[in-house]
Amino acid sequence: MVIKQPESAKERIILALDTDTLEDVEKYTKLLRDYVGFFKVGLQLYSACGYEAVKVIKDNGGRVYFDGKFLDIPNTVAKTCVNLMKNGVDFFNVAANGGSKMMSSTVKLCREHAKHMGIEPPTILSIALLSSFGQRTLTEELNISINTVDYVSKIAQISKDCGINGIVAAAGDVKKIKQQQGNDFLVVCPAVRPTWSVVNDQVRVVSPSDAINNSSDYMIIGRPITSAQEPVSAAQMIIDEIETALENKEKEYI
């Protein structure tokens, strides 16, 4: 399916299901399907439960964002992404450092199979930098001398040229991406943490309000909701924060 701009605050939330059990998947999907837009299936969950995790989410009324960060030769990644489509995944991502040929091949094959299947082409995102990366990692370990914002902006341009629909990027990178690529180029913000939650192992962390103020479309939130004593209450608090940020942002344009 084609993922477009979110129409409500709750739709902006992608809940990270970083768990090893289908019991947790079913529990959180049933509990939170009315409070989030998508459920994220990542490598931890997929390696434990496979496509059964996707099936459980879909069977219980949820939508799936598959976070596989695929990086391989173009043919392998393209065919892997077609398999995601066949198994009901709503949208997914690939690692941009696989190169333009990998990304464009994936887009082309997925569109061809979508037409053959009689469905809309999938929404595909690229990953520029992991949320655990900061400037030091980029410069000292990857030997990339430009700053993170310029690096991600360059990746966004390459991705769009390949037919990719959007990018996963830190909130601080979003405004420049939107200015250069337009509002229709989706941006998903990872490592979102409400001010009342623990940061954990992320580096470039922002609040839901920060994500909205920087024009992010979607945000990935996991442990602040799933580890809360009252997950529904935690999700509602985040929805309220997003709605307030959207209202304040709208007032700026009046």
- Number of separate domains in the chain: 1
Q: Residue 61's pLDDT is what?
A: 96
Residue 4 lies in a domain: no
Q: Residue 250's pLDDT is what?
A: 80
Q: What is the dihedral of CA 229, 25, 188, 13, to 10 degrees?
A: -50
Dist CA 249 CA 242 (whole Å): 10
Residue 224 lies in a domain: yes
Phi-psi region of 118 (alpha: psi -120 to 50; beta: other; left: phi over 0): left
Dist CA 164 CA 156 (whole Å): 9
Residue 169 lies in a domain: yes
Residue 186 lies in a domain: yes
Residue 1 lies in a domain: no
Nearest to 28 by CA among 12, 40, 43: 40
pTM here is: 0.93
Residue 3 lies in a domain: no
Residue 27 lies in a domain: yes
Active site residues: 69
The residue range of the domain holding 163 is 10-252
Angle 236-250-224 (CA atoms, 0-180°, nearest 5)? 25
Secondary structure of the chain in HEC code, one letter for each residue: CCCCCCCCCHHHEEEECCCCCHHHHHHHHHHHCCCCCEEEEEHHHHHHHCHHHHHHHHHCCCCEEEEEEECCCHHHHHHHHHHHHHCCCCEEEEEHHHCHHHHHHHHHHHHHHHHHHCCCCCEEEEECCCCCCCHHHHHHHCCCCCCHHHHHHHHHHHHHHCCCCEEECCHHHHHHHHHHHCCCCEEEECCECCCCCCCCCCCCCECHHHHHHCCCCEEEECHHHHCCCCHHHHHHHHHHHHHHHHHHHHHHCC
Dist CA 177 CA 157 (whole Å): 8
* Residue 202, domain CATH: 3.20.20.70
Q: Are strands 64-70 and 166-168 parallel, antiparallel or unpaired?
A: unpaired
Q: Residue 134's pLDDT is what?
A: 81
Q: Residue 204's pLDDT is what?
A: 54
**pLDDT, one tens digit for every residue, the chain (254 residues):** 678 889 899 999 999 999 999 999 999 999 999 999 999 999 999 999 999 999 999 999 999 999 999 999 999 999 999 999 999 998 999 999 999 999 999 999 999 999 999 999 999 999 998 878 888 888 888 888 898 889 999 999 999 999 999 999 998 899 999 999 999 999 999 989 888 765 554 455 689 999 999 999 999 999 999 999 999 999 999 999 999 999 988 877 65
Q: Residue 162's pLDDT is what?
A: 98
Residue 143 lies in a domain: yes
Amino acid identity at 176: K
